[in-house]
Amino acid sequence: MLQLPTYDDVFAAAKRLEGHAHRTPVLRSTTADERWGAQFFFKCENFQRMGAFKFRGAFNALSKFDAAQRKAGAIAFSSGNHAQAMALAARILGMPVVIVMPYDAPAAKLAATRGYGAEVVQYDRFKEDREALTRRIAAERGMTLIPPYDHPDVIAGQGTAAMELILETGRPLDALYVCLGGGGLTSGCALAARALIPQCRVYGVEPEAGNDGQQSLRKGEIVHIDTPKTIADGAQTQHLGQYTFGIIKRDVTDIVTVSDAQLVEAMRFYAERMKMVVEPTGCLAFAAACAAGDAIRGKRVGVIVSGGNVDMARYGALLSGAAAA
Ligand SMILES: *Cc1c(COP(=O)(O)O)cnc(C)c1O
């Protein structure tokens, strides 16, 4: 039996993150409230360090290393936000870190990860198995592998985003919408919601093209899919994890999906009305809340804005309708 993390772990993570993670703002929008007839509370993790909530999970996991683990350091495979989160957390904690990335990862992401002081090891996506390569380096150098979502300390760290939101909004939320990829953020947020506001409905939101989580919830077991084609690149996961699914099937009300067109609409709203840059994956939660109609009317609705890392040329192209997945 897996030992699933609990709210106590989220609470302990919040203590570790104090003074290291930003306490991101909870923003309101009168326009959104009027247009959709609800009261929205936006937890803005696009303003988190390195631009996404993933700093929370990475920092929490690395903070728990013992002396030997700290000395040898950590390793991860990611070309997305987890890479930068691990790099920054390791730098703050003064430990070595290796990030395994494909040769064709975007130059900006490679530069950002190296910029935070990580050693980047590259591999050929079409010829090499990144997990095998990562495990080999981990074994050779005694490094501890931290996966992007399916790890108790990562989940607990991500849950602090919802914990802060819930504590700040005071009166209980009726619904909470969370962006869902591999489920680290959703499962952590569900732990916080179930402990603090048990009656709150908690929704994970996936891209329509990659609804493996929704299928898994319906089927009662983890469903694997091919890498989906969607502009939500942070949610192109092929399956949930053992830990994340264990929590999601127990604590999440439902998993819903949105189209890429809905993501662009939400992205435009954030830009025009709230003056903030949100990456496509970060728009999942709000896009679903907007589509919920009567289900949110008159309700207090929490929305996790998960990140803001998007290439500016791509951002412009998406907003002008010139880019697709
Ligand atoms: C990683 C990521 C997600 C998905 O998080 P999971 O924990 O994998 O579900 C959502 N939004 C952003 C911006 C991300 O970087």
pLDDT at residue number 250: 98
pLDDT at residue number 36: 97
Positions in the chain whose pLDDT score sits under 50: none
pLDDT at residue number 108: 83
How far apart (Å, rounded) are the C-alpha atoms in residues 24 and 14? Answer: 13
**What is the residue type of 217?**
L
Nearest CA to ligand 1 atom 14: 234
Quick check: is 275 catalytic? Answer: no
Residues 203-217: tens digit of each pLDDT: 999 999 999 999 999
pLDDT at residue number 33: 98
| 178 CA from centroid of ligand 1 (Å) | 9
Q: Which residues line ligand 1 (CB under 6 A)?
A: 52, 54, 80-81, 148-149, 158, 179-186, 234-235, 237, 279, 281-282, 306-307
| 84 CA from centroid of ligand 1 (Å) | 13
| 26 CA from centroid of ligand 1 (Å) | 19
Backbone angles phi, psi at 225, to 5 degrees: -130, 165
Nearest CA-CA partner of 239 in 281, 180, 296: 180
pLDDT at residue number 182: 97
Quick check: is 249 catalytic? Answer: no
Ligand 1 atom closest to the Cα of residue 181 is 9
Nearest CA to ligand 1 atom 1: 234
If phi > 0 it is left, if psi is from -120 to 50 it is alpha, else beta; for residue 94 that is: left
Predicted TM-score of the model (pTM): 0.97
| Pairing status of strand 175-179 against strand 201-207 | parallel
Q: What is the 3-state secondary structure (H, E, C) of 110-160?
A: HHHHHHCCCEEEEECCCCCCHHHHHHHHHHHHCCEECCCCCCHHHHHHHHH
- CA 226 from centroid of its chain's CA atoms: 20
pLDDT at residue number 325: 75
The answer to whether the beta carbons of residues 277 and 315 sit under 8 Å apart is yes
Query: 37 Cβ partners below 8 Å, 6+ apart?
Result: 296, 297, 298
pLDDT at residue number 79: 83
| 212 CA from centroid of ligand 1 (Å) | 15
Nearest CA-CA partner of 309 in 252, 206, 234, 215: 234
Ligand 1 atom closest to the Cα of residue 52 is 13
